[in-house]
Each structure stands twice: as structure tokens, then as C-alpha cells.
Amino acid sequence: MKVLVAIKRMVDYNVKVRVKADNSGVDLANVKMSMNPFCEIAVEEAVRLKEKGVATEIVVVSIGPSTAQEQLRTALALGADRAVLVESAEELTSLAVAKLLKAVVDKEQPQLVILGKQAIDSDNNQTGQMLAALTGYGQGTFASKVEVSGDSVAVTREIDGGAQTVSLKLPAIVTTDLRLNEPRYASLPNIMKAKKKPLEVLTPDALGVSTASTNKTVKVEAPAARSAGIKVKSVAELVEKLKNEAKVI
Amino acid sequence: MTILVIAEHDNKVLAPATLNTVAAAAKIGGDIHVLVAGLGAGAVAEAVAKVAGVSKVLLADNAAYAHQLPENVAPLIAELGAGYSHILAAATSNGKNILPRVAAQLDVDQISEIVSVESADTFKRPIYAGNAIATVQSTATIKVITVRATGFDPVAAEGGSAAVEAVSAAHDTGTSSFVGEELAKSDRPELTAAKIVVSGGRGIQNGDNFKHLYALADKLGAAVGASRAAVDAGFVPNDMQVGQTGKIVAPQLYIAVGISGAIQHLAGMKDSKVIVAINKDEEAPIFQVADYGLVADLFEAVPSLTSHL
């Protein structure tokens, strides 16, 4: 079966971001960009499904600036077969991304679509669920285990109190949680080979999708800083401070 | 303006996060209706009817809603929600699972995990693991929003007297089915609602050593949390993870033991009122956010702390 994986280019998770002085957003000039960590897990899961003989082809798609081709090449080096970039310079909302992905799903007809559970820049946690709504497919969000058998997929999900397993009819949408797998690294020969794999570039217009949004970011501020704390010398002093100064115990 | 709040429950008990969500709805202003979708959830609807500020309870009792499968619940919410100005749910795993599906069905953008209400159409929410706060304005006719519980003080669970109205609409799309679940058992307070949280990280070294934290937590009546490192190493189950991708907590007192303080962990706890860090590495980033830091070996400090209480 064909598996579609959606990935996002964003600021590397180790970078401590700074808010711009004019409060228009976060300063992303000259910071390291990477593939969203949850997307890496999604790519890894697709590659494992192919290694098990369940998946026959892996198509990886990204929606973003032309520089997102770097992350698509990374995914190709990890084992994806071909890539699609829907080029859009502006920042899109999750709904706009879901609509573009729906157009790609209509075109590619995958049996399984794997996304990360959330992008660590917007922290929205929406796109997979929205794509499931638009396609009418079942959704297995926050997946820690994915097992395809016949025309259905069993997804074990991380929920607040523990774990839950649901069975979805294929085609279906899965979003990955941290515990699904341990993503591999791309080897140098595979990075070289990835350069020759096909990468198609599309535009929202070509897909006939409007990316208009009902949400507007008015401003972006730095969070309130915590006042500096103190170091205590002993456990007794700590208990005394918590009882008499902070009054929390 | 009428606001629809989606109740969080397990068919028996109303989850506390619903009270924080109703508080957010009250800040927006307008009539507040609460939807209880489930199976045999009459007792939950009765509990919701008593919640302060709720004017009507909608009870959709149907086998299709028994396990809150989004494929079935989202069409119900989208159908009922069409007549409302706002649809709110707690940013729990259920709320996060269901509400974006509702938003897409209504063709509106969602606003996730708001921490404050500026006006009926403008909200604040953290982005980049809490390292920036975005103010977002929505022009959608129906505003679909998830609420971070720690951003709002809960409303009183008693004092209201709303009428319960049965909703007959049944949606069963048949695209998904519930197979089973495994819930972690704990006698300690629930992590996201606890007044005191004691968390352990990689420095605890193994699962058995968590007993030191349990002893301390029991003395304090606290919940026990963990960093991703402790979960990945298998010391504790992953529903104990505090952080950007785990649970967001804001207790009165947060005690971080053997946790270095990575950005992703701080995202889940830096709104705690008082933060205590116990770590033997005095350069650990956790000390930059801690109100009280103790540079010490946790295997001596934690039992000593327990005996001092």
C-alpha cells in the first residue's frame, strides 16, 4: 500500500527562540532549521512499514517555503521514495495545511497518512485531525503503536490516564507520539542517493485550494520572566523557606 | 452569544478540567451550555447541571459516543455547535483529539490551548514550547477553542441548577472502533490538578529509586511527575510525563529532582507558583527558573527532606 507522510520544516528543537523587538513574531533569521521531531518519527514509521513489506511506496509531502526541500531530501535519505513540495512563502494555519494535504491525498490516494502529533513551533496539534475530518477517514492520534492487518489498522494511543487502542478502517490518518519509535539517522550514501529521487513542486493555486484564514496573530510577546531564585545550603533551610517564606507546605 | 462547552468525563465522573473550561467560557461572557456525550452518562449530566454558571446541559447518550471516538463525536458537536458563537473544550487528550475535527467540519481555524481571554474574539496562547505568547484574534463566526486548564481557576462545582435536555442525534460513521484501554492506577492526586507535584528525571537512575519520590509525595499529598528522560528510560509510565508533549501543570509547589531543565520540560511546569530544584549539577538550567535551589545528591537530600516534614 501507499503511505503518505507529511513533514514540516521549523526551528531546531534545541534553539532557544527570541521574540522580535516589534512583537511581530519570533526571530527566525539565521537560526538552525530542522525537520519537526514528530515528523521524523512519522517518516521512521513509514520506512519500518515498508521494511515489513506492508508499505510499497512512501510519498513524503511538505507545505512551506522552497527551503523545505532540504527537509524533504532528508526524508528521502531516510527511505521515502519520492517527495512533493507545496510551495507557500506565507505562514499557513493548520486548516489551510489540512486543505492542501487533502488535495494531495485526493491526487495520490494513499491508504495511510502519517503526520506528527504537533509541530513544536505553533504547538497547535490540529492538522492530522483536520485532515481526517476533511477526508472523512478515521484518525489514530498520539500513536505509540501502529499495526496494519488487512484492510484495517490498530493504533495504540497515548491518552491522559494511560493507553487506548482503536481499530480504524483503511484509508486512515495516524499522528505520531514520541514513543512510537526511535528515528534512524541518514547515512552518507543514502544522502547522496536521495539527491536523485524525484521531488515535485506544486502551488496552492495549482491544487485549487484557498489558504485564507479566520485567525490573525495580533502580537507575539516574551513570557513573563520569573524573578531570580536563591540557592539554599541545606534541606533544613529549604523546609524553613517553604514553610515560612513561600508558605506552600 | 451562547457558548458550548464540551464536558470531559469517563461516563461516570466529570473531569475537573471541565470546570476550568467553564471558567474560560465565563470570561468570554454569554450563556453557557455544556454537552455531555457518552453512554450511560446521566450522572455526569447531573453533576454538570450543578456547576456554577452553566445554564443548560445537553446529554447525548448513545452507544456510538461510549468511548469518545472523534469520528462519531465530532459530527455531533459540529451539528449542535452550528448555533453557537464559541465551542470550547479542555486541552486534554480527548479535547485535542476531537475539537480540530469539529473545526475542520465547520470550516474554521481552531485556537489551541488558550491561557487567557482578552475579549470575545481575542485570546492568548503559548507557542514555541512556551517561549513566546501569541495574541490571536479570530474573525470566524464560530470560534473553536481548546482551553489550557492551568490558565483558568476552576468555577465552583456546586451552586448551579441547569436543566438537562436529551439530544437524540446519533452519528455512527463506522470508520473506527474501540478495542481496549490500559489505564495506569494511582492513589495519588491527579497530576494536572495537584497542588504539589514532585517530579523525577534521569538523575533518579532507575524505576525502583522513584520510591524516594513516592515517599516524599505521600508526605506532602503530592502527585508524582517525570521528565521525558525518566519515561524513555522506562522508570515510570508515559502518562506521568510533564512537558511540552506531556502534561502541563501549574501547582503551588513543583519539586524537580534530578531534572536538568530542558526547554521541553520547562514548557510543562514553569507557570508553577514556587519551583524547587534538587540537583547535584549546579550548572543545570533548572536552577535558572527555580525559586529555591539545593545543590545536593538527591539520594541524600530527598529522604532527608521527607524526614524533615
Task: Give me the interface pTM, i.e. the ipTM.
Answer: 0.96
For residue A25, CA distances in Å to A20, A22, A210, B136 come to: 6, 8, 24, 12
Give the model's confidence band at B186: pLDDT under 50 very low, under 70 low, under 90 confident, else very high.
confident
User: Is a pLDDT exceeding 90 seen at residue B184?
Assistant: no
- Compute the half-sphere exposure of residue B209: CA atoms within 13 Å on the CB side of its CA: 19
Q: What's the pLDDT at B185?
A: 85
Confidence (pLDDT) at A90 = 87
User: What average pLDDT does chain B have?
Assistant: 97
- Over residues B163-182, mean pLDDT: 95
Strand A82-87 and strand A57-64: the pairing is parallel
Q: List the single range of A128-132, B25-29, B167-171, B229-233 with lowest mean pLDDT.
A: B167-171
Q: Is the pLDDT of residue A51 over 90?
A: yes
Pairwise CA distance, residues B157 & B150, whole Å = 17
pLDDT grade for A249, boundaries at 50, 70 and 90: confident
B292 pLDDT band, cuts 50/70/90, is: very high
Distance from CA of B214 to the nearest CA of A (A): 17
Which of B132, B175, B291 has its CB closest to that of A168? B175
Q: What percent of chain A has pLDDT over 70?
A: 100
- Give CA–CA dist A77/A197, Å, rounded: 9
| Chain B residues 27-56 within an 8 A CB cutoff of chain A | none
Whether residue B85 contacts residue B30, with contact meaning beta carbons closer than 8 Å, is answered with yes
Give the percent of chain B with pLDDT over 90.
98
What is the tens place of the pLDDT at every residue in B55-68? 999 999 999 999 99
Give me A110's grid cell. Answer: 494513499
Q: Do A168 and B96 touch (CB under 8 A)?
A: no
Segment B20-36 mean pLDDT:
98
Cell numbers of B207, please?
Answer: 524505576
Determine contact: A188 vs chain B, CB below 8 A: no
Q: From B242, which residue of chain A is nearest by alpha-carbon distance? A: A160
Residues A25-44 have a mean pLDDT of 96
Tell me how many degrees the CA angle B191-B195-B93 measures, rounded to the nearest 5: 30
Is residue A228 scored above 90 in pLDDT?
Answer: no
Torsion of CA B118, B122, B123, B128, to 10 degrees: -130
Judged by CB atoms closer than 8 Å, whether chains meet at A216 and B293 is answered as: no
pLDDT in tens, A199-215: 999 999 999 999 999 99
d(CA A71, CA A60): 10
Residue numbers of A between 58 and 97 with CB closer than 8 Å to B: 93-95
User: What is the mean predicted confidence (pLDDT) over B182-206?
Assistant: 94
Question: Quick one: DSSP state of residue A182?
Answer: -
pLDDT of residue A43: 98
- What's the pLDDT tens digit per position in B74-122? 999 999 999 999 999 999 999 999 999 999 999 999 999 999 999 999 9
Report the DSSP pairing between strands B56-61 and B163-166: parallel
Please count the CA atoms within 13 angstroms of the CA of B166 that sit on its side-chain side.
8
pLDDT score at A42: 98
- Looking at residue A44, its pLDDT comes to 98
| Rounded average pLDDT over B1-21 | 97
Write down the pTM of the prediction.
0.96
Tell me the nearest-neighbour CA distance from B153 into chain A, angstroms.
18
Angle value at C-alpha B273, between B149 and A23, nearest 5 degrees: 70
Q: Are strands B122-127 and B116-119 parallel, antiparallel or unpaired?
A: antiparallel
Out of B104, B138, B275, name the one closest to residue A130 (CB): B104
Bridge partner residues of B108 (DSSP): none
Would an 8 Å CB–CB cutoff place B116 in contact with chain A?
no
Is B101 within 8 Å of B70 (Cβ atoms)? yes
B117 bridge partner residues? B123
Render pLDDT for B242-291 as a digit per residue (tens, 0 to 9). 999 999 999 999 999 999 999 999 999 999 999 999 999 999 999 999 99
Q: How far is B188 from chain A (nearest CA, A)?
A: 13
Q: Name the grid cell of A60.
A: 513524503
What count of CB pairs under 8 Å joins A to B? 257
**pLDDT tens per residue, range A119-153:** 999 999 999 999 999 999 999 999 999 999 999 99
Degrees (nearest 5) of the Cα angle A28, A45, A135? 80
How far is residue B242's CA from residue B265's CA, in Å, rounded to a whole number? Answer: 6
Percent of all residues in chain A with a pLDDT value above 90, rounded to a whole number: 95
**Among A98, A142, A216, whose Cβ lies nearest the Cβ of B93?**
A142
Smallest CA–CA separation between B169 and chain A, in Å?
19
Count of alpha carbons within 13 angstroms of residue B240, beta-carbon side: 28
User: Which of A26, A41, A144, A164 to mutate against chain B (most B CBs within 10 Å)?
Assistant: A164
